[in-house]
Structure 1
């Protein structure tokens, strides 16, 4: 018997959520998950092209990426009848896999047609279909609100209200919390002095982590240059994602500046180690990095210099309530904002704010409910 977990390669978030859920299943001794990280891309050749284009926009133009998602929210291409006829066999092929216990989607554009195909094949009442919403703000990306799934797992009450307003039955929506890897919940990690040695950073200085996103946003090179030209001498770690050009340019800038305590990293799969020692986390408003910071209680600077992607606009309202980070809208203010955030007064204030925030273990909550539904708990 197997549980299918389907994702998309747009960005890295859907796959990260898929991996976190699979990890939680393994913790519960359920070892029969089949993960398909590129299910969306496999449906149509054009989907692969669009996914690559989206990832290109993530690394180069926030404004165009925002318009791309907004266009999808208006046109809803996943509801196109012609596309459904072209792709239905891809969905029904899944149903022929022997012994499926359940299907879980962490993606957006596959849900409407998945539900339709399951209804037409009369298996929706036999095989439960779960939608895991990976957007924590208002608005959410189109596709998570496709009506007819068995359950919808969402990170918070904000998203729950959006789903219910869209027509999803309230009883089918569960506030599970956001699914991130159990590595971020490991208390022992944050006491491990070896992290400083492994990362080659000075434990007597504070740590600033700049995350340029999985695709490596090239505009974040300006942040590094601003820091190198400043009078700050704290530890500065820059994550360049998969963008090899950004990584090389950052290395050149560091060599030119001849500064100490600055580390340039390519794609790095253990962000939990960085956040365990970070005093400030500079990042885009992506849901994964945002919730990883919330779990590890790190003060955030959210990069809004080039605006927000459609489904990330709501981070402003979120932070107005949570008060554990600041929005950076002008790169010229970066250094002064870092200095403010590093001050004892601001650090203590944010620590107090974090005491009021309870973050649920989303992956574990989702897995427990699914296993309960299929009688495997």
Structure 2
């Protein structure tokens, strides 16, 4: 009989949780005798919780201050958030357990760690529980429940914070950040390294995460007015932003600008770009690193993204430019001396990237399955 893995993810709170789930499924689905069931944790809480999950996009696009207040409150009152989520999902989650009968539960969203562990304890379920942290350095205590059998951490920084929150060090596994395999095409984006005509336009990619957040219009105008460049802009799910950008940019720059909505081919856009401009979304940052596309980080969502720009600078994965007024100088510095700084960033990215992160995570899961088998014998 196949072993069963239940993954608790999220479809609407950005795209990172879903991308991580997809990266894992790529490897897990080729394993024999393994069945995978994925559920959006917010869907377990009925209409109200589903609406809360879907509100992430509008809130982060239009009111970062409100989002910071929500994040800070959840960090200060994790037990309250866990109790609230548990109250909303308990009935449906118990039904799900009885239907799926998972051998392991893996969560990739902070709201479904303590809440689910509370339910497992209350109902006497003895199911191995693993948390996979989907952030880099600014870790909410909702990620760090000491009762989890394992906490899979993407960075040393995240591990240290989890220890501060009381997670036993032996229960934390550092693996790196999981990225879908298609972002590792040939392990290297050749732009600005080989076959690049110095006189050709700079290929720029502007992104704001799955929700299309950020000051894309001002960034695009600064680049178009000051550099010989082609720009591809990904507005994500933000239909209003896409329409606004089309109205403001296409009239004067139609031959130099391409504006897209949400796309599943983001890796191809990265491969064809010399520089990616994005806010400090961990998923987008690590996908850019995997595709070997230098980053200009233009901001960060308050809360879980606050530490990401500094993390990128620490490892020379990109540069930070939060003020569009300073963007011209930032790009000039990247391009001077035959783009030497860009080349150094690309070199650092190749040293940092690890296409085997997902394999390591899968091996951890398979080890837990094997240990469960041995205990059952």
Report the 3-state secondary structure (helix = DSSP H, G, I; strand = E; otherwise coil) of the residue aligned with 1:32. Answer: strand
1:216 aligns with 2:212: yes
- RMSD (Å), alpha carbons: 2.6
CA contact (8 A) 1:177 1:360 kept: no
User: Counterparts of 1:37-56 in structure 2 under 5 Å?
Assistant: 38-56=40-58
Work out the CA distance in 2 between the residues paired with 1:335 and 1:156. 32
Confirm or deny: 8 A CA contact 1:235 1:261 kept in the other structure.
yes
Structure-2 separation of matches of 1:190 and 1:332: 29
Question: Which of 357, 362, 365 pairs up with 1:362?
Answer: 357
Give distance in 1, aligned partners of 2:357 and 2:135: 13
Structure-1-length-normalised TM-score: 0.87
Larger relative contact order, structure 1 or 2 (CA cutoff 8 Å, min sep 6): 1
Look up the match of 2:330: 337
Alignment of 1:10-159 (within 5 A): 10-29=13-32, 32-36=35-39, 38-76=40-78, 78-79=80-81, 81=83, 84-124=86-126, 127-137=127-137, 139-159=138-158
* 1:197 alignment partner in structure 2: none
1:283 has 2:246 as partner? no
Q: Which residue of 2 aligns with 1:195?
A: none
- For 1:107 and 1:47, the matched residues in 2 are separated by 14
Distance in 1, Cα, partners of 2:227 & 2:147:
54
Alignment pair present for 1:325 and 2:318: yes
CA distance in structure 1 between the partners assigned to 2:94 and 2:324 by the alignment: 49
User: Distance between the aligned counterparts of 1:177 and 1:270, measured in 2?
Assistant: 23
Instruction: Summarize deviations over 1:333-366 as a string: whole Å, max 9, x none.
Output: 2233223223322223323433542435332211
**Partner residue in 2 for 1:249:** 244
Q: Which residue of 1 aligns with 2:186?
A: 187
Q: Distance in 1 between matches of 2:311 and 2:281?
A: 13
Q: Is the 8 A contact 2:204 2:229 kept in 1?
A: yes
Residues 165-211 of structure 1, C-alpha deviation per residue, up to 9 Å, x if partnerless? 2111111110121111111123188579xxxxxxxxxx943311100
TM-score, normalisation: structure 2: 0.87
Stretches of structure 2 that go unaligned for 5 or more consecutive residues are 192-198
Equivalent residue number for residue 196 of structure 2 = none
Indicate whether 1:160 and 2:162 are aligned.
no
